[in-house]
Structure 1
Amino acid sequence: MDLRLSGKVAVVTGASKGIGLAIVSTLLAEGVRVVAASRGSSEELEALAGPDLVHVAADLMEPDAPGLVVARAAEEFGGLDILVNNAGGRPPGVTLPRSSFFEANDDDWRAVFEFNLFSVVRAVRAAVPLMLRRGGGSIVNVSSANGRQPSPMNVDYGAAKAGMNNLAKALSEEFGPQGVRVNTVSPGPVLTPWWTEKGGAADVIAAMAGSDHDSVLNKVAPEMMRLTTGRLVDPQEVADVVALLASPRSASTTGADFVVDGGLLKAV
C-alpha cells in the first residue's frame, strides 16, 4: 500500500536506537526526508545516511533543544509535515524500573516529566506553526501502555505518559480543524535497549526476581505482564503504526490512541 508519504518532511526524536530507529528507517523507505534527533548517533543510524536524512545531536531536556531540532527541518528541507515525539523513557542517570512510589523524589519526577512530557510540549509548540504554513500535518506521540494502566511500578513515568495522552486529545481538538492531526501510539514492553542493555530493565527485573537477563526477556517479563502474545513487542511493529498515522491514508484519524502492547492491556 502506498502511504503517500514521498516528499514529506519529518522530525523524529529518540532516533538513534529502538523504536525511533525503526521509525526513521520506515519513513525513509517511504520517501520521507527525515531530521533525526538524539543525544548521539549510532552505527545503525549512520548506516541509513543519505541526502534525505539529517542527524541533529540534541539533549531534549534542554528547554531550547526541541525548538532547535524542529527549526532544522525548515532549514534543511523547507518545512515540516510530520513530527514524531518518540524520545522518552529513563532520563540520563536514572535507573528504571522503580518498584514503588517512594523510590522517586522530586528531582526524579522533574527529570521524568522534562524528558517524557515537557520536551513534547516544546517540540509541538515549534512544529505547529510550520505545519499550518503547509496546510496541515501529522503529530504522532509515542506514549506507553503505562499511561493507560496505573501501576506502582514507574508511577512517575506512567503519570507523564498519561499527561501526553491528554495533551494529544487537547491538541487534536484545537488544531484538527486547521489540518493538523494529533495521535498517540502506546507500546507495551518493546525489545529495545531500554530492556536489553547492561543495567537496563531486564537486569533490574532479574535482580528483583532472582533470575537472569535472557530468562527475563524470553519468559519472566512476558509472564509477569501477562502478554497475550507471550513475547515483547518488536520495534518495527510500533514503527509501522506510526507510519500509517503519519500518512494521509489516516486523514480522518485524530485524537486517537493506538495500543501496540502484545495484549498487556486487558480492559475494554
Structure 2
Amino acid sequence: MRGLKDKTIVVAGGATGIGAATAERLAEEGARVLVGDLNLGGAEATTARIAAAGGTAVPTAFDLADEGSVRALFERAVGEFGGVDGLFNVGADLSPGTIGRDGDLLEMDAAIWRRTFEVNLIGYAHTCRAAIPLLLEGGGGAIVNTSSLAAFVGEPLRPAYAASKAGINTLTRHVASRWGKEGIRCNGLSPGMVLSETGLATMSEEFKATVLAGIRSARLGRPSDLASAAAFLLSDDAEWINGQTWSIDGGGALRD
C-alpha cells in the first residue's frame, strides 16, 4: 500500500484481536506503530512479534476511559517518533462485568450505560481530539474508528453497546466533515463476527454455526480481515475516502 512506509500510526487497543493484527499489518507495510492498550502485557507481546518480523513498534499502557492517559499516549508517540500520521481506534470495554450486564431496557443499569459510553464512545472522542492537532501539524492524516454490526441491526440485548457504536459512526462523520478540507480523513469499520482469541473462548460451535448461516460468505471473520481494511483506509491509496463506515462482515449486513 502507498503512503504507510515510515508513517507513525497509533493503535489504540492493540494488545489482542483486531488491534494486534492491524498493528502487525501496519508494521509489515513499513509504518512505525505505537501499540497502546490497558493490557500492557498484550501490547508488549504484539510489539515483540512486530520486532521479530523486522518492524518498528513501541508498547505503552493507556486507558481509554482516562483523558490524561489518552494525552500521555500521544505524547509518547511524539516523543518516540516525532509526530503522528494516523490513528486506529479499536479498544472497547468487552468485559463480562460491562457488556455481560448490558440487558434490555427493562433490565437497564444506568451505570453500565455510563461505563460503556465512557470507554467506547467518549474514549474515541478523546483519542480523536488528541490526534487531530498532531495530524494538522503534519499536513493531514487518517483516523479509522472501529464500529460494529450492532450499530445497524436491532438486537434484543446490548443496547448500550449498540448505541455507543452508533455514536462512533456519528463521531466519524463529524471529524470528516469538520477537518476533511484540512487534510484529515476519518472512516470507520463495522466488523461482523470475528474469531479472535477472546471470542473463541466464549462461543459454542452451535452459536458459530448459527452466525455463519446468516452471512453470505463461506467462513466467519478473522482479525486479519479487519487489519487489511484498516491498513488500506490509513494508507494513501484511500485518499478519496472520507466519512464512511464500511461493513466488514462477510455479507452479514447488506446496506447502501
3-state SS of 2:128 partner:
helix
Show the counterpart of 1:263.
251
Measure, in 1, the Cα distance between the counterparts of 2:222 and 2:4: 23
What is aligned with 1:206?
A: none
Most deviating of 43-52 and 243-252: 43-52
Quote how far apart the aligned CAs of 1:98 are: 4.7
Please report how far the alpha carbon of residue 146 of structure 1 lies from its aligned counterpart in structure 2 after TM superposition.
1.2
Q: Does 1:158 align with 2:158?
A: no
Conserved? CA contact 1:187–1:260, under 8 Å: yes
Cα distance 1:187–1:227, how it changes in 2: closer, same or farther (>3 A)? same
- The equivalent position to 1:222 in structure 2, one of 208, 212, 218, is 212
Residue number in structure 1 paired with 2:49: 47
Which of 251, 261, 266 pairs up with 2:239?
251
Residue 51 of structure 1 deviates from its aligned partner by: 6.9
8 Å CA contact 2:136, 2:184 repeated in 1: yes
* 49-58 or 239-248, larger mean C-alpha shift: 49-58
| One-letter amino acid of the counterpart of residue 29, structure 2 | E
Q: For residues 199-214 of structure 1, what are the structure 2 equivalents within 5 Å?
A: 200=202, 202=203, 213-214=204-205
Q: Deviations over 1:19-45 (max 9, x none)?
A: 001100000001100110111223454
| Cα pair 1:91 1:111 within 8 Å, conserved | no
Q: Distance in 2 between matches of 1:51 and 1:235?
A: 19
Residue ranges of structure 2 left out of the alignment (5+ in a row): none
Q: Partner letter of residue 221 of structure 2?
A: V
1:70 aligns with 2:74: yes
Distance change in 2, residues 1:51/1:31 (3 Å): closer
What TM-score do the two structures reach when normalised by structure 2? 0.91
CA distance, structure 2, for counterparts of residue 235 and residue 120 of structure 1: 20
Matching residue within 121, 143, 146 for 2:125: 121
2:173 alignment counterpart: 169
| Alpha-carbon separation, structure 1, partners of 2:255 and 2:233 | 23
Write the distance in 2 (CA, Å) between the matches of 1:53 and 1:267.
36
Aligned-pair CA distance for 1:189:
1.2
Structure 1 residue 139 corresponds to structure 2 residue 129? no
**Aligned residue type for 1:256:** Q
The Cα shift of 1:59 comes to 2.0
How many Å separate the matches in 1 of 2:70 and 2:3?
Answer: 27
Answer whether contact 1:88 1:116 (CA < 8 A) is retained: yes
Q: 1:122-169 CA distances to partner (integer Å, 9 max, x unpaired)?
A: 011111001101100000001111112232221111100101101111
* Residue of structure 2 in register with 1:31 after alignment: 30
Structure 2 partner of 1:10: 9
Q: CA RMSD in A?
A: 1.9
CA-CA distance at 1:64 after TM superposition: 1.5
Aligned residues: 251
C-alpha distance in 1, partners of 2:55/2:238? 27
Distance change >3 Å, CA 56–CA 81, structure 1 → 2: same
> Are the aligned partners of 1:8 and 1:33 in contact in 2 as well (CA < 8 Å)?
yes
Q: Evaluate the alpha carbon distance shift between residue 243 and residue 97 of structure 1 in structure 2; reply closer, same or farther with a 3 A threshold.
A: farther
Percent identical = 32
SS in 1 for 2:67: coil
- 1:54-88 per-residue CA deviation (whole Å, 9 max, x = no partner) reads 10112222232222111211110000000001112
Q: Given the superposition, is the C-alpha separation of residues 95 and 252 from structure 1 closer, same or farther in structure 2, using an over 3 Å criterion?
A: closer
Q: Which residue of 2 aligns with 1:234?
A: 222
For 2:237, the aligned partner's letter is: R
Q: What code does the residue aligned with 1:46 have?
A: A
Residues 82/58 of structure 1: CA separation in 2 closer, same or farther (3 Å cut):
same
Q: Which amino acid aligns with 1:82?
A: G
Offset of residue 230 of structure 1 = 4.6
Q: Deviations over 1:177-207 (max 9, x none)?
A: 000111011111111134223xx3x2xxxxx
